Chain A
Amino acid sequence: MKRMIALLLALIMMCGIAGAFAEDTVKIGIIVPFTGTMSLYGECMFKGATMAVDEINANGGLLGKQVELIKYDNQNDETESRNGFNWLIKQDVELIIGPLSSGTTKAIVDMANDEEVVLLTCTATNDALDEEDNFVFRCCYKDSFQGTIGAAFCYLNGYKKVGAIYCAADTYSKGLYDSFAAGCEKYGIEIVETASTASFDSMDVTNQFTAMIEKGAELVYTPYYYNTIGPLVVPQARSAGYTGVILGADGFDGVPDYVVPGADLDIYNNVYWNNHFDPNADSEIVRSFVSRYQALYNNETPNALSVLPYDAVYMFATAINNAGAADAESVREAMSDTSAVYELVTGTFTLNEDGSPNKGATMFEFYHDTENDRVDFRAISVINELPEVK
C-alpha cells in the first residue's frame, strides 16, 4: 500500500514538474489521430508539421520566439476532437491545425469561432466548414472543387456514362459525391447508376459493381479512403468483372501501402485520382522539400498528408510575420487578407473570402511497377482551372 501511494505521489510530481516548464513560445496545436483506423494519415501529418516547426526553430523562430507544437490524439472521433480542442485552448494555444476528417472538423468549427481561436484545417475538404465564420481557414481545396475536378476529368477524357458508389453516412464521401454529381450535370455527363454503402470503412461492393456493369458505366466514382480502396474496393470491383475506370479523390493517397498481399497487381491499373501535391513535380521548392523530408524520415516519399500540415505551419508563419504578432486576432486578420500570397510546396496561392485557397489539382494514376513488383502512382495531368463547357 505504501509503495502504491509513493508511486502515485511520484506520478503527480512528474505532472507538476512537466507543467512547470513554460517559456514564452508561439504555441501551435495539432489535433490528429495517432491511433485508430486513420492513424496512418495522422502520423504523416504530424511528421510534416514537426519538420516545418523544426526548420522554423532552426532559423531563429517566429518574431524571435521558438515555436512549440502540441499534439492531441483525437482517434478520429468527434467527442475526442472537442476534448482536445478544449485542452489546447486551456493551455493558451491560439493557433490550431487539424483535425483530419471533415466530420471531426465540423465538431469544432463552431467552437473555434466561439472561443476566437484560429483553426487551420489542412485536410478537411467539406464545403460547409468555412462558410459563415471568421476564424476557420484551410490550406486544401474544397470538395466542391475536388468533386468537380472528377467530373471535369470525365469530360476532358470523353467518358459519357458514369456511375458512383459512395457512403451517405460520411461527410467527406457524401460531399464529394454531391459536387461530382453537380459537375456531371454541368458537363452533360450521364450518371447511370448510384449506390450507397452503409459503412465507410468495411464493406462489400461486389453487387454494386455488378449493377454498374449492367448499366454500362464506363467510369465509377468512388470517394473513399486508402484503407478501403486498396484492400476492398478495387479487388472486389475487378472480381465482379468490372474493367472500366475507377475514379477517386485525395483519399486514395497511400493505397500502394494497402494492397492485398499476393493480389494480382494489374488490377490497380485504370484507377485515377486527384491530389494536392506531386512529389515528382519538376519545381525547385518541391524537389528541395522532398529531399529534406527523405533525409529526415528514412527515405520515405512524402504524400499530400505530410506536405499539407507542413504548408499549414508555414501559412501560420507567413501570417504571423505579416501581422507582427502571434495572437489569434492578429493572425486571423492577416489570413483574412485575400491579397496575401503564400509560396508553399503545394503551390503558390492566395486565400479567398471564405478562407479557402485558390489552387489546382494534379491527376494521378496507379500502375503496376513490374520491375519492383509493386503498385506505384504517377501524375498524368494538372488541372489548374475547370474547363468551360463547349
Chain B
Amino acid sequence: MSRKTKGYLLNTAVIAVALLIFFFYRNSMMEANNKNFRLSVIPSVWQCCYLIILSASLNLVLGFMGQLSIAQCGFMAIGAYTSALLSLAFERAGFYTDKSGFNFTVVLILSFLNAGLLSALVGLVVGIPALRLKGDYLAIITLGFGMIIVNLINNLPFAGQNGLEQGSASSSLYENGLGFSSKQQVAWVFLAILITLFAVTIMFMFIRSKYGRAIRAIRDDEIAAEACGINVSHYKVLTFVYSAFFAGIAGALFSCCNGSLSTGTFTFANNSILNSTFLVVMVVLGGMGSLTGSIVAAVLMFLLNRFIKEGEWLSSAPQFVQTIFGYPMLVYSIILVIVIVFRPKGIFGHNEFSLINLPADLKRIFSKKKGKEAGV
C-alpha cells in the first residue's frame, strides 16, 4: 500500500469516527432537549460550515493561483438567492409541504446544485474578461462585480426587497423554503457537515491534481508557466469558476440557516465578519496556499467573534481592554497586524495539516524550538 493510499484511509477513518461520535452526541443532546446545544453549538456549526467553504474556495484563487479576488460574497449572494427562490417556488407550487421525504430531498439537491451552477456561470462570464488583468486591476473589477450583483438583486422584482422581505407569498425563510428553524437545524445539521466535507474534499482533489500544480506554477511565475506549455488564461478562468461554484454552495448553506436574506449581508463592507474583505483576511491568516489553514482560520475567526461578543470575561477585564474589545473590528485588525508581523505566511504557510505526517511534523517543530533554525 502506498503512503498516499494510507493517508487517504487514515483521513477517511478519522473523519468517519468523528462524525459517528458527533452523531451520538447530537442524538443524546436531542433527547435531553439541551438548550445550550440547540441555541449555541448547532448555529455555530452551521455558520462555521459556510465560512469554511467560503474561505477555502477563495484560497483557490487567492492562495493557490495568486490572484486577488474580492468578489466571493457576490457569488455567495447569487447562490443564496438562487437556492432560496427556487425552494420557495417549489413550496408554493405544492411540490413538498414538510421538510422530509423524497420530494424535499430532490428540492434540496436542485437548490444546492443550481446555486453552485449559476454562480459558476456568472463566474465564467466575469472571469473571461477579468482574468486578463492582474493584481490591483483584477481586484478593482471583482470589487465592482460584488457591488453590481448586490444592486442587480435589489432591483430584481422577484428577489431583493419585493420578493423575499415583503413578498406576498413568503415573508421570510424561517421554516419556509429551504430555511430551517432552530429545531430543524439540529435535525439537519449533517446536511451542512456533509456538504462542507464534500466541498473541501473536492477542493483538495483539485489542488492535488495536474490542475492544482498548474495553477501553482502560474502563481510562482506566469511567464515560466506559459513557457512550459500551460494555458494560463484557461487555467485561470477554470479556477475562478471552480471557486465561484463553491461560493454559491456556501450561499445556499447560508440561506438554509439564516432565517431571512437581505442584500446588506453581501455588500462589500458591512459590519459583520462575513464580507469579501474579511474572507481575504481569513485566507491570509490561515496561510495563502493552505486549505487546512483556511479552515482553521475560518473557525478561529468565528470563535473569536463569539468570544468577544458573548464573553462575560470582558466585564471583569481592565478598562482599556474593555474599550478595545468594545470594537470587535479593531481586535481583528490588531490580530491581523500581529500575524503579518510575526508570521507573514499565515498560520500554516504553504503547508497542509496532515494526519499521517503529524508525528514527523511535530518532531520537526519541536526540534526547531530547541534552537536549530527559524521558519518552517
Contacts and interface: CB of A to CB of B under 8 A. Distances in A.
A binds B: yes
Contacts of A37: 271
A82 interface: yes
A82 B259 contact: yes
B312 to A, nearest CB: 4
Contacts of A109: 172
B284 interface: no
Contacts, number: 139
A10 to B, nearest CB: 10
A375 to B, nearest CB: 27
Interface in A37-92: 37, 72-73, 75-80, 82-84, 86-87, 89-90
Interface string B246-271: 00000000000011101111010011
A77 B39 contact: no
Nearest to A110: B174
A103 B165 CA distance: 8
Interface stretch (B96-104, B148-156, B214-222): B148-156
Contact of A82 (B43, B147, B262, B315): B43
Contacts of B260: 78, 103, 106-107
B134 interface: no
B259 A108 contact: yes
Nearest to B261: A78
Interface stretch (A165-173, A182-190, A222-230, A279-287): A165-173
A114 interface: yes
Nearest to B265: A78
B35 A90 contact: yes
A384 to B, nearest CB: 28
Contact of B271 (A11, A35, A83, A174): A35
A34 interface: yes
Nearest to B47: A79
A171 B164 CA distance: 11
Interface stretch (A13-21, A205-213, A266-274, A301-309): A13-21
Most buried by A among B40, B262, B265: B262
A127 to B, nearest CB: 8
A205 to B, nearest CB: 15
Contacts of B315: 18
Contacts of A34: 326
Contacts of A131: 171
B262 A78 contact: yes
A199 interface: yes
Contacts of A196: 155
A14 B182 contact: no
Interface string B150-183: 1100110000111001100001101100000111
A386 interface: no
B272 A110 contact: no
A387 interface: no
Given A79-B272, A103-B262, 15 more contacts: A15-B312, A19-B312, A78-B259, A78-B260, A82-B258, A90-B35, A106-B172, A108-B259, A111-B181, A168-B155, A169-B150, A169-B263, A178-B166, A198-B154, A200-B264
List 7 A-B pairs, minimum CB-CB distance, nearest first: A36-B271, A110-B174, A18-B312, A75-B271, A77-B272, A169-B154, A86-B39
9 contacts: A73-B309, A75-B271, A78-B259, A80-B272, A83-B43, A90-B39, A114-B182, A170-B161, A198-B154
